[in-house]
Amino acid sequence: MYCERGASMLLNLPYHVLMALKNQYASPEYLKKWQQKRLKHMIEHAYRNTRFYHQKFREAGIHPHDIQGLSDMQKIPLISKDEVRNQGADSLVAQGYDERNCEVHYTSGSSGKMLRILYDSENHLYESAIAYRYHLGQGVRPWHRYYLILHDEKELQDTRKRSILHRTMGVAGDLPDEEKIRLAQDYNPHVMGGHLSSLISMGKIMETQQIDSIRPRILIVGGELSLPAHRRYVERVFGGATYDKYGAFEVKSIAWECRHHTMHMDADSVMVEFLKDGEPVAPGERGEVVVTSLWNKAMPFIRYRLGDIGVPSDKVCECGRTLPAMEIIEGRLDDFIVLPSGAFIPPGAVVPLFLSVTQVDQFKIVQDKKDSIRVQIRPGQGYTHEIEQGLIQKMKEVLGEPVHIDVEHVESIEQIARGKFRAVISHVGVDLSHL
């Protein structure tokens, strides 16, 4: 899918890497000017070359010339994945770009609905540089053996093209855990990466079989909600330190955790807004995550609602990087339990209740109505009625409002798209005024 790439692109890669490494220590003023320049370029390009944004701007009564700086961003309407699907994803593809000259990925996300994403060659180069930057920031070195669990066939194939930067072994996520463990034992990696749920599943077998020969120094996790209890478990079983990674197929890398455990946003690649009622929230406050790609001309995403709730930060990191920080991603909008009053509870408030009970092998919390929740549990050895009633009581205490809780015993818990696991799924819409 990389028809545009060749010798000239490989020669340009070192330039992009040096630029990305420089930008992470640039002054806030420099980064702001960088963003404004890239933003104006992308907006003009999207307006001139995509049906979607040309129509969107005309309907809003604005022109690219109206966007002179970052403060003008709010003039641009927000867009959602459903809107893109309804209009047709091809309406976002710019003139002159198609599968013949672009990298192509397909994302289904939590809804299971397919969305085709195109990336142009320059975007691919800078994202490769961004990846090199955050790997270095997490302690990964070019000579490290990197064991990476992947649920995307395209990404799995691409691991064979990364030998310049990393010695990567791509492992299919749908392999049995026993086979993943055997491959890891044979490869003896310095670094392991994948969904937390994949590493947890492997870890349980390793504990049962007393396997202690897989000892990576670094564990890079992403793609799922990263809860402290999950991370502590994985660190205990594998022995390495965990570092979080936040991204989305629409814009690729968004933020990553450095060795000092600060989540740095890739401000030179993607603009991130945290909004409540359309206005930016203050550091430390919850906001809906809205992103704008600053590089991908093939398929621009401008003020795109990811459906996540996050918290920006004004933290100054000890590592010296000036890239803006965020505290945490609290989950997707449909990960929050919505109470009868309209207030909501983040998944991180209820999930630890079940993680602390060793007699529960697997669980999932599903909300169909504001006053009703189903808890699916795969009972483990020693699970009793008393343990179940204790869990229900603790959950009611956390919720704090009258909510009926039913428990279903199941043989297995189903994963969602691309091997991801979500411990909480709510089918009740969140009222963002309660953020």
What are the residue ranges spanned by the domains of the chain?
A: 336-434
Res 3: pLDDT: 41
Res 151: pLDDT: 81
| Nearest C-alpha neighbor of 248 from the set 328, 176, 304 | 304
Cα gap 59→63, rounded to integer Å: 10
CB 276 within 8 A of CB 287: yes
How many Cβ atoms from other residues are within 10 Å of residue 334's Cβ? 18
Res 1: pLDDT: 37
Cα gap 277→274, rounded to integer Å: 10
CATH class of 336-434: alpha beta
Q: Which residue stretches of the chain have pLDDT < 50? A: 1-5, 7, 110-111, 163-165
Q: Which pair of structure tokens corresponds to residue 182?
A: 């055997």
The residue assigned the tokens 């009564």 is 61
Res 162: pLDDT: 52
- Cα distances from 315 to residues 60, 226, 263, 327, 393, in angstroms, run 36, 20, 10, 9, 37
DSSP 8-state secondary structure symbol assigned to residue 65: G
Output the CA angle 61-293-268, nearest 5 degrees: 120
Could you tell me which residues are beta bridge partners of residue 325? 264, 313
Res 166: pLDDT: 54
Cα gap 150→105, rounded to integer Å: 14
Cα gap 246→267, rounded to integer Å: 13
Cα gap 88→116, rounded to integer Å: 10
H or E element, residue 168: strand 167-172
Cα gap 67→45, rounded to integer Å: 13
Which positions ≥6 away from 94 have C-beta within 8 Å? 45, 46, 49, 50, 297, 298, 299, 300
Strand 103-107 relative to strand 145-150, pairing:
unpaired
H or E element, residue 54: helix 51-60
Compute the CA torsion angle 347, 349, 354, 358 (nearest 10 deg): 120
